[in-house]
Amino acid sequence: MSTKTILIVDDSAIIRTMLATIVKGLGDYQIVEASSGFEALRLLPRGHVDLILTDINMPHINGLELISYVRANPLYKSIPVFIISSEGSAVYLEKGKQLGVNEFVAKPFSPAALGILIDRYLNPTPHQGHEILLP
């Protein structure tokens, strides 16, 4: 199994460090960090990314603009994207859904719950998401 790469995009160095610490605790993941949507767009062509964790409110190119670009680009459109934000309003939730966000994680969040979500997308099991009924 090859090491999977997670791109963490947040203008707060503290949040990026916290997310990187959570991810490192989950297993053997490579972490790439970007402090803005603009920086993330510069990093995407430089290597394969398996998952994107992004904030919404950032300077220059915000998280929603980043997601819009990712979903419109054939090279990146299948990458799972999680919004991790304190912006939990219905407007942002709906916009994220329209853009094809896979998960919306509201701050503050449980590191364990985030870990479960990351694992679900990066290490799916054959029966995940399906109810198994035994006789």
Q: How many CB atoms are closer than 10 A to CB 7?
A: 23
Give DSSP secondary structure letters for 76-113.
Answer: TTTS-EEEEES---HHHHHHHHHHT-SEEEESS--HHH
Q: How far apart are CA 6 and CA 96, in angstroms?
A: 19
Per-residue pLDDT of 22-68, as tens digits, reads 999 998 899 999 999 999 999 999 999 999 999 998 988 899 999 99
Count helices and strands in the chain by DSSP H and E runs: 5, 5
| Fold (CATH) for 4-122 | Rossmann fold (3.40.50)
Per-residue pLDDT of 72-114, as tens digits, reads 999 999 999 999 988 767 787 888 889 999 999 988 889 999 9
Provide the pLDDT for residue 88. 66
Q: What is the DSSP letter of 50?
A: S
- The pLDDT confidence band at residue 1, using thresholds 50, 70 and 90, is low
- The pLDDT confidence band at residue 126, using thresholds 50, 70 and 90, is low
Q: Which of 60, 58, 75, 49 is nearest to 9 (CA)?
A: 58
Helix spans in 8-110 (H): 13-26, 37-43, 63-72, 90-99
8-17, 61-70, 116-125: which range is least confident on average? 116-125
Q: How far apart are CA 116 and CA 125, in angstroms?
A: 12
3-7, 46-50, 60-64, 130-134: which range is least confident on average? 130-134
